[in-house]
Chains A and B, each alone.
Chain A
Amino acid sequence: MREAEEREIFQNAVDRRLSGLQENPFLAQRIMNAEKGEIKPMKKKLTLSMVLVIVLLLIAVAALAVALLSPKEIVEQVAVPVAQNNDQENYTYEELADLIRTLNENGITLDEGSKIVQAFQAGHGYWEGDTIKEICRAAFGEDSWTPEQSYWYGEMMVAVGAWEHNAYILPKEDELQEEQARILAAQILNNTYRVNLPSESNESWTVTAALGFLCDEDSETGIPSWFINFIPNSDDDELQGYTVTFDLHGENAQPDHLVVINKKPDEATVEKYNEIQANFEKEKQVVSEYGEVTHFWPDEVKVEVYGGLYGLPYAIPEPEEYAVALEDAKRFITEKYGADALEKLGDYKVGYLFQKLDDEEDIETKATQLMWDIMFTTDPEFLSDGYRVQFQRVIDHETGEENIVDVIVEHANLGSG
C-alpha cells in the first residue's frame, strides 16, 4: 500500500515537473523511414555542453604543446592552496568539481568507483586528505610508491592539515642512501648467518628496502630506520628468508630470520583459509545489501556478521544503555568541536557498533565493558561529514563504579589520513 502511494507520488512529480520535455511527434515515422533507407539516419545533435567540451578539448590539445600539469603540480598548485584557503577539512562540492575538471583537462582520470568520484556525482564535497591520496593513486599506482613519492605525499598531507607530522622519511645527505643500505644489509646478514645474499634482487632472491620508524619505548615517534628484506624466489619451504633493520647511520642493526608465508599450506591452514573466505563472502553479501558503513546496519545483522562469523562480542544494547551512550557521545563531540557542532551538521543520522564483555573468565578486570563506536552523519553512504566517537564504559563488578576510558573523538570519515 505504502509502495503504491509512493509510486503514485513519484510518477506525478516526474510527469508534472518534466512535462516540458518535448516529445518528437515524427520519431516513429523518421525511424521507419531511416531504417528503410528512405532518409539518412538522424545525426546526433551537439549540445552546448558538447560544443564547450570540444572547445575545451581543442584548447587542451593546443595547451598540450605548451605543457600539461602533472598530478604533483596539480596537487601543489591547485589542491593544496585551495585546501589551505578554506577553513574546513573538506573540499566543497564546487571546489571538488573544479579540481576534478582540472585533472580531466590535464589527462588524469580518477577511478570511477572511488568514493570521491561517487561523492562528487552525488553532489557532495569530500575530505581534502583523501582527495589528495586519490590523486596520488591515479598518478603513482595503488601501492609500491617510491620512498620519494611517499615522502612528498606525506608533506602534502601535512600542508593541508590532514596529518600533524609526515609519516614518511627520506635520508639526509650524510645518512645511508638506499643502495648503501642494501649493501650494508647483505654484509650484516652474510656475516651473521654465513650465507651469500646479494644486495640487489636476482634470480634467487628478491631484495626490498623501506624506510620507516622503528618502534622504541624510549622514543615517542620511533627511530628512523631502514628495513631490508631478502625473500627467496622459490617454492621450497626449506629456504629461509632474512631481514635486518638499522638506523640511518647503519647503527643498531637487528638481523633476523624472515617469516615467509608458507607456500604449501597444510590441511588445517587450507580449512582455516576456506572458513575466512566463506565469512568474507557472507560479509560481501551483507555489504551489497546494507552498504559499507557497518554502523548503520540493522542490529541483528551486525550481531550475525561480527558475532556469528567472527566470534566478536557484538550485542544489541538495552534502550537505557544506548540513551546514556548517545548523550555521552554528544558531550564528547561538543567538548572537542564546539557546542554547535551537531547543530551545524543539520539533519544527521546516528549509527553505532556495540560490544559487551561481561564474562569474568575472559577479562582480567572483573568488570563489564561496554564498547561503543557511534557515528553522527548526514551521509551514511559516503561519510562526507559528521563525527565518530569511540569509548568504553567500564562497570566494576565489586564496587559498581563506572568509568569511561579510551575516548576517541574524530571526524566521521574512516579513511581520512
Chain B
Amino acid sequence: MSNVKGPDKAQNPDFEELVAQYQGSVLRMCFLYLCDKTLAEDAVQETFVKVYRGLNSFHGQSSIKTWIMKIAIHTCYDMNHSGWFRHFDRRITPEMLPEAAVPFEERDEELITAVMRLPIKLREVILLFYYQGFSIQEIMDSLGVSQSTVTGRLKRGRDKLRGLLERRDSDA
C-alpha cells in the first residue's frame, strides 16, 4: 500500500478503496468493542475521518491495516471513556445482536456474546489477536502495553472463551 494518497490530492481513489476494503471489518470490531450498533457506526465514521486526515503522515511503519485498526481501537477506547457511554446499560443478550444477513450457527452467537461479556481489557486484546490477526508485537504497539500484559490478557481471555474456539464439523 505504498501508493496511498492523502487529502492533499485532488482525487482520493485509494481512500475510497481503503474504506471499501476495511469498513466492514472495522464496523464489526467496533460493535464488539462498544456493544452498540449506532455507537459502532459513529466510531467507524470517526476512524475513517482520522484515517483520511492522517494519510499524509502514514509512512508505512506498519501495515495499513494495522494502522487503521489501531486508530479504530483508540477511537472505541475514547468513546468507552466518554461521559455518555458510562450511562449505557451494557448487559449483553443475544437479542441485542443485529439480524444476520447470512446463515449462522448457534455457537457463532455464543462466541459473540461471550466476547462482548469479556472485561474491556481482555476484549480488546482478543479482538486484535483473533479477529484482526495481529501479532503480539502489533498488539503491544497498538495498546502501548508490555508483552507480559498482552500474553496474560490473551491467556485469560482465551480461558474464558474455552470450548467456543474449537473446530466443529461445520468449520472444516
Contacts and interface: CB of A to CB of B under 8 A. Distances in A.
Judge: A and B partners, yes or no. yes
Interface of A: 5-21, 23-24, 27-29, 31-32, 34-35, 42, 44-45, 47, 49-50, 53, 56-57, 93, 97, 101, 104, 109, 118, 121-123, 285, 288-291, 380-381
Nearest to A32: B12
22 contacts: A5-B167, A10-B130, A13-B107, A13-B108, A16-B102, A17-B112, A19-B104, A23-B24, A27-B19, A28-B18, A28-B20, A31-B15, A31-B48, A32-B52, A35-B52, A45-B41, A47-B37, A53-B87, A56-B87, A97-B89, A288-B148, A289-B155
B49 A35 contact: yes
A45 B131 CA distance: 27
Interface stretch (B56-64, B65-73, B91-99): B91-99
Contacts of A289: 148-149, 151-152, 155
Contact of B16 (A28, A56, A118): A28
B53 A291 contact: no
Contact of A290 (B7, B91, B152): B152
Contact of A7 (B19, B37, B100, B130): B130
Contact of B101 (A10, A20, A50, A53): A20
Contacts of B36: 47, 49
B77 to A, nearest CB: 13
Contacts of A35: 7, 49, 52-53
A27 B146 CA distance: 35
Contact of A31 (B42, B52, B166): B52
B41 A24 contact: yes
B169 interface: no
Interface of B: 7, 12, 15-16, 18-20, 23-24, 27-28, 31-32, 36-42, 44-45, 48-49, 52-53, 84, 86-92, 97-105, 107-109, 111-112, 117-120, 129-131, 133, 146, 148-149, 151-152, 155-156, 159-160, 165-168, 171
A270 B147 CA distance: 31
B24 to A, nearest CB: 5
Nearest to B88: A49
A9 B171 contact: yes
A26 to B, nearest CB: 10
A291 B84 contact: no
